[in-house]
Chains A and B, each alone.
Chain A
Amino acid sequence: MASANTTERPLSPAKERGKFARLLRKYALQIAIVFVALLLWAFFFWRSPLTWGSYAIYNSLMSTTPYFALMAIPLTLVVVAKEIDLSFGSIMAWGMAAFSVVFMALRDTNPQLGVYLGFLACLLAGLFAGWLNGFIVVKLGIPSLVTTIGTQFFWRGVVLVVTDGQGLGMTVVKETILYNLFVGRFLGVIPAQFLWTIAFGIIVWFFLNHHKFGAHVYLVGDNVDSARLMGVDVERTKIATFAVVGVAAAFAGFVVSEQVLFLWPTLGDGYLLNTLASVFLGGTSVFGGTGTVFGTFVAAFIIAIINPGIVAAGWTAYWTQLIYGFIIVVSVALQSILRKRLT
């Protein structure tokens, strides 16, 4: 039997079916999440055809979902590696605080250069904050839940000190190429940040599924002892996952601030719940070792349509938070049940 599989001969119908069943089982979670998304969309469409039949709602979904999808995608890596990060909301603002420092220094002499260098400073600040999370978790052995609650408050505090609690107008960004690049409209209709989110998803997917780094992320999350015994650099892998989330959070912070052309010191508040919900609803196990970028991507859009869907259907938006919380609990509970049945 085994040897028949190795050759590339055309498979018999029975084998073809067996192969199909195997593929179905392998991608069961991804298929399920797409169905959930379609069902939910159909339900909302039925409740309010006027809203869901026009382009405006999709335009708005494509421009605002990336704010947290950009972070949920790399957060998938952290959760697969059996860690958690709760500090990304504050890192969004911390990146922009770094931006504002550089930008203010150059505002009077060369504001455009200030924007470019500020953007660079923003990404570096995010990278540093993410690396620091990883460093504390790995080198000092402090659980990531505790570490990132701490850094969440810390970076928020830094932002308030640096900005003195004041906002900053960002209209000058409109004069740079960065505006069209990140929040412009591709072909006049598609928000650029949506395309960036897709590109980002593909890159992270590639690294998770087709690169040594991703292979090690799965191994570290699945069985950290065996990974270490087999020569996987556990420390470096974990730190890298946190660092990627840091950069992504800073980038998301820049995109949000660009879109609204204003930097709020409270930037990032309110993204915690929907980002985490996207990761868990997307089928990434809170127990580590499994998860897909595709699942997170689709789940982010499911999370995104809940709020407008509820409002358009004529119910109170107070339901939103309840449903987000419910989704997190149910998807985590489902993972626990699935895990018991699989092993």
Chain B
Amino acid sequence: MEYVLQMKNISKTFGEVAALHHVNFEVGTNEIVGLLGDNGAGKSTLVKIITGYHCPDPGGEIFWKQEKVSHLTVSKARDLGIEVVYQERALADLQSLWRNIFMGRELSNRLGVLDQRGMVRETRKLMSTAMGFTSSAVTPESTVGTFSGGERQGVAITRALYFEAELIILDEPTMGLSISETRKCLDFVDGIKQAGKSAIFIDHNIVHVYPVADRIVVLDRGTIAGQFQKGELKFDELIDRLTHLAQTGHLETNHPKAR
């Protein structure tokens, strides 16, 4: 399998606390990776290293499409095509839909004058295709504060897709969403797969991760406790093993951990 992102021997210590030790993690091209783990397992530290927010401890290596990346920064990660879809925080509630879609990357001429028509047109196109908004009550001029949680998540994901992200990281996207909104959000994740992009889907809730992920990686106390390919394990078995992990700190895997 071709990897879009490969991380080798990643450790991260904050003072005395080791958030990650010797983690090997990779995401294949057009693969949806579900990242599971309890609070404090190291999920967000791992994500922050991928987005260039944190620098890994010496010895760790990051490869982007088989090329080594040294000193990954936030802006460098964005240039490579790594996009994070943060929940709630990522939208400006009082602004129109098109201003949110193009937030921080407004279409403009060389003098900075906005190409408003162009942005509204693109937004309208995205609404009917990617976002699946069919209600005539929603226009590119609608303020996103009036949207439902699922719609908002859709806006955030569509924004990432529009800007040609190669790897989209979804940080607990279903948190606080209703059942139907969650369904809609998971459809967007399917959309990422259809578009040929890769994603890392982080969630507490295995029920959400299981159906959309190609592979599930379980993090526990800073190490990778195990991983499963889709179909390798039935849903119930996975739940049993995770419960066992929570109780004993040991995860049974079908394959040895060393790769």
Query: What is A's interface to B at a CB cutoff of 8 Å?
Result: 1-3, 5-6, 18, 22, 26, 210-213, 215-216, 218-219, 222-223, 225-227, 229-232, 285, 289-290, 342-343
Contacts and interface: CB of A to CB of B under 8 A. Distances in A.
B57 interface: no
A1 B84 CA distance: 31
B151 interface: no
B256 interface: no
B89 to A, nearest CB: 5
A169 to B, nearest CB: 43
18 contacts: A5-B139, A18-B136, A26-B141, A210-B116, A212-B114, A213-B112, A218-B94, A218-B99, A219-B99, A219-B103, A222-B95, A223-B93, A230-B105, A231-B75, A231-B105, A232-B104, A285-B94, A289-B92
Contacts of B113: 210-212
A210 B109 CA distance: 11
A211 B114 contact: yes
B124 A5 contact: yes
Given A342-B94, A342-B146, 6 more contacts: A2-B127, A216-B104, A226-B89, A229-B84, A229-B90, A230-B103
Contacts of A290: 94
B103 A227 contact: yes
Contact of A226 (B103, B127, B135, B145): B103
A177 B143 CA distance: 48
B114 A6 contact: no
Nearest to A207: B112
Contacts of A5: 124, 136, 139
B106 interface: yes
Nearest to B119: A215
Contact of A22 (B95, B141, B145): B141
Contacts of B94: 218, 222, 285, 289-290, 342-343
B39 interface: no
Query: Which A-B residue pairs are the 6 nearest by beta carbons?
Result: A230-B104, A222-B92, A231-B104, A1-B136, A289-B94, A212-B112
A223 B92 contact: yes
Contact of A6 (B91, B106, B124, B133): B124
Interface in B77-104: 78, 84, 86, 89-95, 99, 103-104
A18 B91 CA distance: 27
Nearest to B138: A2
Interface of B: 75, 78, 84, 86, 89-95, 99, 103-106, 108, 112-114, 116, 121, 124-125, 127-128, 133-136, 139, 141, 143, 145-146
Contacts of A26: 141
Given A1-B136, A227-B103, A230-B103, A212 B108 contact: yes
Contact of B124 (A2, A212, A231, A232): A2
Nearest to A222: B92
Contacts of B86: 226, 229
Contacts of B92: 218-219, 222-223, 226-227, 289
A319 B145 CA distance: 40
A211 B112 contact: yes
Contacts of B127: 2
A219 B133 contact: no
Nearest to A2: B128
B106 A212 contact: yes
A52 B2 CA distance: 79
Contacts of A343: 93-94, 145-146
A182 B105 CA distance: 39
A212 B95 CA distance: 14
Determine which residue in B86, B103, B112, B124 has the highest number of CB atoms from chain A within 10 A of its CB, and name it: B103
A226 to B, nearest CB: 5
A223 to B, nearest CB: 4
Contacts of B104: 216, 219, 227, 230-232
Contacts of B141: 22, 26
A1 B136 CA distance: 6
Contacts of B128: 2-3
A18 B145 CA distance: 21
> Interface centre among A22, A26, A212, A225, by most B CB within 10 Å?
A212
A218 B86 CA distance: 20
A231 B78 contact: yes
Contact of A215 (B84, B99, B121): B99
A246 B182 CA distance: 49
A216 B99 CA distance: 10
Contacts of B121: 6
A215 B92 CA distance: 11
Nearest to A342: B145
A26 B95 CA distance: 12
Nearest to A219: B92
B192 to A, nearest CB: 19
Contacts of B90: 226, 229-230
Contacts of B135: 1
Nearest to A19: B139
A70 B106 CA distance: 29
A220 to B, nearest CB: 9
Residue among B89, B92, B108, B112 with most chain A CB within 10 A: B92
